[in-house]
Structure 1
Amino acid sequence: MEFQDVVRRRRMVRRYTDEPVDPAVVDRALHNATRAPSAGFSQGWAFVVLDTPHDVRRFWAATADPAAPGREPDSWLRGMMTAPVVVVPCSSKAAYLDRYAEPDKGWTDRDEARWPVPFWHMDAAMASLLVLQTAVDAGLGGCFFGVPPHADAALREELGIPDDHDPVGVITLGHPADGGAAGSPARRRRRPLTEVVHRGGWGH
């Protein structure tokens, strides 16, 4: 598929068929993710892959247990729970602080204040986009969404995520099915370039 087609076709898929996902495609998506840029080539990312029905159920039990009182799944959640593959991308702030304390960088104090924005999260997010783009290129669908704050501790415990890594979100992968929850573009217009691009300075 041509790159522009991948970009144009990428959307958040919220319901999947029961067709299995080729493990080779998942591996390719993860390989591509590691080609994302990272500050100082810190590569402070990690990916927890859940690609068996048992492991996928463990994820949903930890984050959105439909049996819990008052937490009946809505149409969005029911659709998302049909995904056969769940990937949890994580970022490591420590990897970046350690990397920039090395001799070629020289920030020996590891002061987090030196970072105007959390590049560890940004780099993991860029890696996640490459997973989504690879899925489109392979004829699959994907969705990126956040971990509910109340579920962070349970998810960490269930998946054994260490304290020095933080889940930056969740990626579901699978074959798209009709009938999923409508995406934002169905309700909101895409902002044109004239509103978001400022050539030579803001407002030019």
Structure 2
Amino acid sequence: MSTELGSGYRVWAVPGIPEVRPGDDLVKIIAAAATSEGQPGLADGDVLVVTSKIVSKAEGRILAAEDREAAIDAETVRLVARRGSLRIVENRLGLVMAAAGVDASNTEAGTVLLLPEDPDASARRIRDGLRDALRVDVGVIVTDTAGRPWRKGVTDFAIGAAGVRVADDLRGGVDAYGNPLVATVVATADELAAAGDLVKGKAGGLPVAVVRGLARVVVGGQDAGDGNGNGDADADGARWLVRGGPDDMFRLGTSEAVREAVSLRRTVREFTDDPVDPGAVRRAVAAAATAPAPHHTTPWRFVLLESESSRTRLLDAMRDAWVADLRADGLSEERIARRVRRGDVLRKAPYLVVPCLVMDGSHSYPDARRSAAEREMFVVAAGAAVQNFLVTLASERLGSAWVSSTMFCRDVVREALELPEGWDPMGAVAVGRAAEAPRERAPRDASAFMVVR
């Protein structure tokens, strides 16, 4: 089976690959099939596209597992999204895909196939073996199948590569109209994987394909594709194509993103000098404004201290008021100085926000009990808004610390910031990039905080 794609290259599936079992010599099997009678053989510059299933079988990546879910758990490092029993996860290879790539198809009942432990190393072994056996310099791509966000259907993509330029970086060039190319990096290895899948198919028993006519994508030389980790797309294999960490703008599904943002919300006390994006803070305020509140009110205001002069004016006034209170409490000057130093977290942040409670729309009651309860409802609503604010900052990868000190000198804060009399400062939030990764939070047993009736 073969297909001609345009006039530039040819793709065909290699027939005659038998059922592969653990310990089989995959190089010998592929070489025999590719050079059998009636086959075009292999030539320098060809790209061999190999389904990961046979690589996994040859490497013994077969697991007896009646419970496929347990196997998925073992291969998962991060849950990206879940809908019913379907899980999209990041697996040990950094690949984001359904079920961590654990496959119960094309394997005996009661077993599952795991992906190769190191697909780039697997591709290198095949490439080196074919060079030794057939004296040909080919590229090798190991493929698997996955869906894609926002697109129906599945396609093959490269999970391992050797001797192949996995990407064509066009940045710095120009298009046909002379416009500069600033973001175009073509995933060549994935395109080759998909081309191979057109002739291999999913159920035809044809796990190997050959692409001929694209020698330009094959890297020559004994050391090409050695996976030395130097950040070069030719040398690092298909791992180079994995986008992870801060570069991944679509890291999580909606509900998982909310949970991760909540878990990321930590009190940060040391910040970098990096400036804070005012737009990110405004987005966090917009999220805060969705909090529930009594009587259809909006009992919160957020004062954004974006200038250094406003922050200094507020913090100096608060420090003077605090020192005066501590002296009135009879503390020594040494103890006062230590207290003030410990409270300097707000000074270390490049951005401050003062959330305020407003009682507009509150009801008046003749007795103190109901009046106190009315205020408590508004305070709780303000707290919900601040929590929304802090969680959204965390989702923007901004650290924060909600410090209560403004509540002890509200008149001072109102005067320093020229706020209306009815605005009650409910602490201050320090905002910035965390200077270091937060320590792991000690696990908490949710049942310890529940009472069921």
Q: TM-score when scaled to structure 2?
A: 0.37
Report the 3-state secondary structure (helix = DSSP H, G, I; strand = E; otherwise coil) of the residue aligned with 1:64: helix
* Separation of aligned partners in 1, 2:360 and 2:295: 13
Report the 3-state secondary structure (helix = DSSP H, G, I; strand = E; otherwise coil) of the residue aligned with 1:95: coil
1:196 and 2:452 equivalent? no
Tell me, yes or no, if the aligned pair for 1:20 and 1:84 is still in contact at 8 Å: yes
Distance 1:190 1:49, change over 3 A: same
- Residue 26 of structure 1 deviates from its aligned partner by 1.0
Tell me, yes or no, if the aligned pair for 2:300 and 2:357 is still in contact at 8 Å: yes
- Structure of higher CA gyration radius: 2
Tell me, yes or no, if the aligned pair for 1:147 and 1:167 is still in contact at 8 Å: no
Tell me the equivalent position of 2:356: 90
- Residue 161 of structure 1 deviates from its aligned partner by 2.3
Q: What letter matches 2:318 in structure 1?
A: T
Tell me, yes or no, if the aligned pair for 2:406 and 2:425 is still in contact at 8 Å: no
Tell me the equivalent position of 1:146: 404
Q: What letter matches 2:346 in structure 1?
A: M
2:369 alignment partner, one of 76, 94, 113: 113
Identify the structure with the greater helix proportion: 1
Distance 1:65 1:179, change over 3 A: farther
Report the 3-state secondary structure (helix = DSSP H, G, I; strand = E; otherwise coil) of the residue aligned with 2:405: coil
1:17-61 residue CA offsets vs partner (Å, 9 max, x unmatched) = 110001110110111111111111111211111011111111211
* Separation of aligned partners in 1, 2:420 and 2:270: 30
Q: What letter matches 1:9 in structure 2?
A: L
Tell me the equivalent position of 2:233: none
Tell me the equivalent position of 2:260: 5
Please, which runs of 5 or more residues in structure 1 have no aligned partner? 98-108
Tell me, yes or no, if the aligned pair for 2:295 and 2:361 is still in contact at 8 Å: no
Q: What letter matches 1:86 in structure 2?
A: L
Tell me the equivalent position of 2:217: none
* Separation of aligned partners in 2, 1:47 and 1:41: 18
Tell me the equivalent position of 2:415: 157
Task: Tell me the percent identity.
Answer: 26
1:124-178 residue CA offsets vs partner (Å, 9 max, x unmatched) = 1111111111111011101112125553221121112222221121111111113
Q: What letter matches 1:177 in structure 2?
A: A
1:34 and 2:289 equivalent? yes
Greater Cα offset, 37-46 or 149-158: 149-158
1:1-30 residue CA offsets vs partner (Å, 9 max, x unmatched) = 511111111111111111000111011011
Q: What letter matches 2:370 in structure 1?
A: R
Report the 3-state secondary structure (helix = DSSP H, G, I; strand = E; otherwise coil) of the residue aligned with 1:14: coil
Report the 3-state secondary structure (helix = DSSP H, G, I; strand = E; otherwise coil) of the residue aligned with 1:93: coil
1:44 alignment partner, one of 267, 286, 299: 299
Q: TM-score when scaled to structure 1?
A: 0.78
Distance 1:150 1:121, change over 3 A: closer
Distance 1:149 1:45, change over 3 A: closer
Q: Which has the higher contact order (CA 8 A, sep 6+)?
A: 1
* Separation of aligned partners in 2, 1:65 and 1:139: 33
Tell me, yes or no, if the aligned pair for 1:15 and 1:80 is still in contact at 8 Å: no
Please, which runs of 5 or more residues in structure 2 have no aligned partner? 1-251, 325-332
* Separation of aligned partners in 2, 1:95 and 1:77: 35
